[in-house]
Structure 1
Amino acid sequence: MTESEPVKRGPYRKTEARRREIIAAALQVFSASGYRGGSLKDIGALIDIDPSTILHHFPTKEALLEAVLEDKEAHDVQGMPELATIDPATIPAQFIALAELNNQIPGVIALYAIMSAESTTDGHPSAEYFRARTEHTRRTFRTGFQRMADAGLLAPGITADYAALSTFALWDGAQIHWLIDPEAVSVTETLRTHLQSITIVKIQ
């Protein structure tokens, strides 16, 4: 901690701890029931508080959803490799490492799978978030695969556009199958096989 950073103590620390507890409970409920199916009562029941207490920390259910999505965004930023700057030959391995990291947080992956599908319905509060997030992820993937193409590392006939879209779609789809039947599906191995088929890089 630097001298310029405030020390969190007293009521502030308790408030922040309660906010984190509510976000974690909301993640669990939204992952199981979706945003519209999961209620503030369900969230409160997990941590033995009333919905009014939740609304003290988050003025609306939509504000709570935004906080949950911000938490996931922070995780994504920490896990996503810098595809624009790293050695292009290491990009497939970086994807595999991120898939392995995601294996440790099935609740977060379930939230993303359910909410991204639910966001396509009329009037959903996270529609813009998922539209922008999808575009950003696809663009990031394309940047990495274009660098691989420029280095001659994509398989013959594979373009950066195809590599980005197919990898993104397969990864999302494999995660849904994994959530349904984790014993039968390995996201990491499915992704590894795909990346080996569209690149000429040997992936460990």
Structure 2
Amino acid sequence: MAMLLTMDSAAATGTRKPQNRRGSYAVGQVRRERILNAALLEFAERGYRGTSMARIAERCEISETGLRHHFGTKDELLVEILRERDRIENERRESEGSPQGVAGLEDTVRIVDHNSRTTELTRLFTVLTGEAVTDGHPAAPWAVRRYRDLRRTTADSLRGGVASGELRPDIDADRIARQVIAVMDGLQLQWLLDPESIDMAADFRAYIDDLVDSLRTR
């Protein structure tokens, strides 16, 4: 389901016809992917609470009954989008491994650069993360788990750099991990609000360069 990453507008709006796929199962899978893309766009534009099943169905050019045949509730749709995002990220980690030390910090630069080229997906997760602080939001468990995982993997990468002698032994890996994530998310929010004034990728690149310089073993 790579369309969730590429934000295929034809798939999201229903204007693209299935090609080289046969049978009711294949048609159902194409429709399911189209629904997920449409839901992703709606959540990104309107937030979870501002999105309705009726609007998602309209965007897919199907009936609401047809939509509920695939996903019974809005919560199910949101959870499936988040699950797919996590699956893709886990596959990336497994294929690329877990870079340590400076290489791990460089990897965060690559992630920010990728985010700058996938605006709608980046907007979706920014909106959902902000909404997740409200009571009873279905994305709250995902957001808590995501930040815990980010803090852990970033801190572990820094500790790996210390163990290899690449980074200073006196650094506070957990604190630096929290700060890196805060800068990443803060720049991302500013960029989404004012993309013409903020070069998110360049600013984060400069921040990481300065950070690496301050952490390297002298």
The TM tier, using the shorter chain, reads 0.7 to 0.9
1:61 aligns with 2:68: no
| Displacement after TM superposition at 1:88 (Å) | 3.1
Asked if 1:71 is matched to 2:84, the reply is: yes
Aligned to 2:61: 48
CA offset at residue 79 of structure 1? 4.7
Map of 1:14 onto structure 2? 27
- In structure 2, the CA distance between the partners of 1:177 and 1:78, relative to structure 1 (3 Å rule), is farther
In the alignment, structure 1 residue 128 sits paired with structure 2 residue 138:
no
Amino acid at match of 2:142: Y
Q: Distance in 1 between matches of 2:182 and 2:44?
A: 20
SS of the equivalent of 2:85 reads helix
Q: Conserved in 2, the CA contact under 8 Å of 1:163 and 1:198?
A: no
Aligned residues, how many?
193
Question: Which of residues 147, 150, 174 is equivalent to 1:137?
Answer: 150
Q: Provide the rounded CA distance (Å) in 1 between the counterparts of 2:152 and 2:206.
A: 22
Among 89, 95, 98, the alignment partner of 2:102 is 89
Unpaired runs of at least 5, structure 1:
1-7
Q: Post-superposition shift, 1:69?
A: 1.0
Kindly provide the CA deviation profile for residues 60-84 of structure 1, in whole angstroms up to 9, marking residues without a partner as x. Answer: 111111111122223433455533x
Partner of 1:168: 181
- The share of aligned pairs that are identical, in percent, is 28
Matches of 2:168 and 2:202, distance apart in 1: 19
1:189, 1:151 → 2: CA distance? 28
2:115 counterpart letter in structure 1: N
SS at match of 1:199: helix
Q: 1:78-117, aligned counterparts within 5 Å? A: 78-79=91-92, 82-83=97-98, 86=99, 88-117=101-130
Write out per-residue CA displacement over residues 153-203 of structure 1, whole angstroms, 9 at most, x where no aligned residue.
Answer: 44796421122111111101111111111121122222212212222389x
Q: What value does the CA root-mean-square deviation take over the aligned residues?
A: 2.2
Give the TM-score normalised by the residue count of structure 2.
Answer: 0.80
Gaps of 5+ in 2: 1-20
